[in-house]
Amino acid sequence: MLTTTLFSKNGKDLGTVELPEALFAAPVNEPLIHQAVTAQLAGRRIGTHDTKTRGEVRGGGRKPYRQKGTGRARQGSRSAPHYAGGGVVFGPHPRSYEQKMPKRMKRLALQGALTAKFGDGAIKVIDALEMDQVKTRELVGYLAALELSGKVTVIAPEGDDKLLRSARNLPGVSVLRADSLNVVDVLDADTLLILQPSLARMAEVYA
């Protein structure tokens, strides 16, 4: 049975909590995790970059000068790539950077990322984090009581508007739903702050 310490939002030790072994004791396949990160970051690219070929640039319809008798190399158009303002050879054009991965591979990569974080001691579980009102200072106090610094990703069981708005102005603090995790955000966080009710939802979706 895999367990870790359960804290209150004020930093008090409340005992232990059981963790799903499928998520926090899974094989850490680094090449698979790297593939998942690459695919996710590639999917964020818009791919709208474009350059003009020699057939798309303006001008170039008339021969620059006559074919023979000038002593210079023959030229057919000023839209040729070696002219200033000419077309671009092998330049980028709009395309999709999407890399498809089977859902099972994505799930295994996420399980490996969570296991690696747990092995690094970067997982902290608290019983709850209800916010009485939208107050960033209050959330900062909770994070300080838990001795958290750097990039902190809070994993909540469901959308919490007060929590989201309280964390919105804190650099390095983000809030994710337990059923909307991804490898990049998990690896990018220095600490994953998991609300206890999120564990059941994470196990249901990703185990």
* Residues 65-84 pLDDT 10s: 999 999 999 999 999 999 99
Q: Structural domain of residue 78, as residue ranges? A: 51-91
| 104 plus 181 within the same structural domain | yes
Q: Distances from the Cα of 145 to the Cαs of 28, 105, 132, in angstroms?
A: 31, 37, 17
Q: What is the mean pLDDT of each run of 10 residues along the chain (207 residues)?
A: 88 90 93 97 95 91 92 93 93 95 95 94 90 88 90 89 89 92 94 93 91
Q: Which of 183, 179, 188 is nearest to 207 (CA)?
A: 179
| 80 plus 178 within the same structural domain | no
| 192 plus 178 within the same structural domain | yes
- pTM comes to 0.83
**pLDDT confidence of residue 110:** 95
**What are the structure tokens assigned to 130, written together?**
């209800």
Summarised one tens digit per residue, pLDDT across range 28-61 is: 999 999 999 999 999 999 999 999 999 999 988 8
| 16 plus 112 within the same structural domain | yes
Q: What total number of domains does the chain contain?
A: 2
For residues 173, 176, 178 and 181, what is the CA-based torsion angle, rounded to 10 degrees?
A: -100
The CATH number of the domain where 177 resides is what? 3.40.1370.10
| 69 plus 137 within the same structural domain | no
Cα of first residue to Cα of last residue in the chain, in angstroms, is 15
| 82 plus 112 within the same structural domain | no
